[in-house]
Each structure stands twice: as structure tokens, then as C-alpha cells.
Amino acid sequence: MAPQTKTFTLRELDAAIIMLEMTGKTTYTEADVEGAVMTLKVRNLLPSWSHDEGAEYTLEEYLAMKQV
């Protein structure tokens, strides 16, 4: 069985990428983003509405949208 790609809301992705860029990262893996989202959730830095059900995207889809 192939590993499943993680998906995140746009708000989670935006916040995670900003956090990673603030630490100097310019490239990120799915694991980096997942770790950043988990950190933001644990520290209660993501508003509860940011994880509401809705459209979710993979890191690859998100980066493709940001390049347009």
C-alpha cells in the first residue's frame, strides 16, 4: 500500500510556510510542513476555524497555486 499524501487547509499551509520561512528555510518537505502545522496547533497559534472542514491541499498543489 502506497503512503498517503498529507493534506492541509490553506490557512494551515500559509501559516506553516510563513513559520518555516521565518526560520530561514527556502525549501520544505511534506514532513516540514506537517511538523510546522502540528507545532502551531500545539501552541494554539492557529485559530480553531483554520482546521474546519473544507478544501484541503497537498504541499505540491499549494506550491503550484502560489507560483501562478
Angstrom CA distances, 35 to 14, 32, 43, 63, stand at 14, 5, 12, 17
Give the mean pLDDT of 3-7: 81
Please report the pLDDT score of residue 3 as a whole number: 66
Are 7 and 58 spatial neighbours (Cβ–Cβ below 8 Å)? yes
Please check the confidence at residue 26 and state whether its pLDDT lies above 80.
yes
Encode pLDDT of 36-68 as tens digits.
999 988 888 876 655 556 788 888 988 898 886
